[in-house]
Amino acid sequence: MSEVRLGVLVSGSGTILEAMLAHGLKVTLVVADRACRALEVAERAKVDALLVNRADFGGFRADFDRVAYTEALTKELRAHGVTLLAMAGFGTILTSALHEAYPGRVLNTHPSLLPAFKGWHAVTQALESGVKETGCTVHVATLELDDGPILAQRRVAILSDDDEASLHERIKSVERELYPVVVDRVMAFMSRGLEPRDVVGTLEES
């Protein structure tokens, strides 16, 4: 059995991180790309946390140095011995350097039933499309946005009076239940020498 050291990438309120900790996941390191409540969540839980601030690399300007930022973030992850990454509302798209350091070991959650409605506006797109249901997907992240092997999905009905806020909140509620379970399963598989992709098909869709 080998130890799996989980790193969680955050940008916001930290509710997914809270759900992971409540589930009992052992988090080695939390890294944020901006000052956010999630860092406070980590501090209260006595989990090591770092701010690798994208403001130091150009922030949200057109000259943001994505390559240098990714290299700095990856260096910190490796220095802390992280072996598995879970993006938890992380708002910065990273370059190939991260995926080369963690091939097939970057997890993400997305508010749709992928491959439907990729991108930043998945909830709005689901509402505008007229479909009767959407949901959330946990998958292995790749360089292509919202792509990679799907590990698990959970369906969420779209109600007649839903707007973006109400639907997104219901999806997030389901996401906070599903994501920790999947990460837990991945960590168990990796401790036996398997990879995240090996989880495919071992969790029932609901």
**Rounded Cα gap, residues 161 and 22, in angstroms:** 32
Q: What is the pLDDT of residue 205?
A: 53
Q: What is the pLDDT of residue 203?
A: 83
Best CA proximity match to 97, nearest among 125, 73, 126, 124: 73
Q: How far apart, in Å, do the first and last CA atoms of the chain sit? A: 31
- Cα–Cα–Cα angle for 94, 140, 101, rounded to 5 degrees: 50
Best CA proximity match to 38, nearest among 55, 19, 56: 19
Q: What is the pLDDT of residue 206?
A: 43
Give me the CATH topology for the region 6-192. Answer: Rossmann fold (3.40.50)
Sequence-ordered alpha helix ranges (H) in 6-162: 15-23, 37-44, 66-79, 96-101, 122-129
CA distance readout (Å), 100 to 27, 71, 138, 164, 168 = 22, 11, 20, 35, 32
In tens digits, the chain (206 residues) has pLDDT values of 789 999 999 999 999 999 999 999 999 999 999 999 999 999 999 999 999 999 999 999 999 999 999 999 999 999 999 999 999 999 999 999 999 999 999 999 999 999 999 999 999 999 999 999 999 999 999 999 999 999 999 999 999 999 999 999 999 999 999 999 999 999 999 999 999 999 998 986 54
Burial status of residue 126 (CB atoms within 10 A of its CB: 0-12, 13-18, 19 or more): buried
Each domain of the chain, given as residue ranges in start order, spans 6-192
Single pTM value for the model: 0.95
Task: Give catalytic residue positions.
Answer: 110
**Rounded Cα gap, residues 6 and 184, in angstroms:** 10
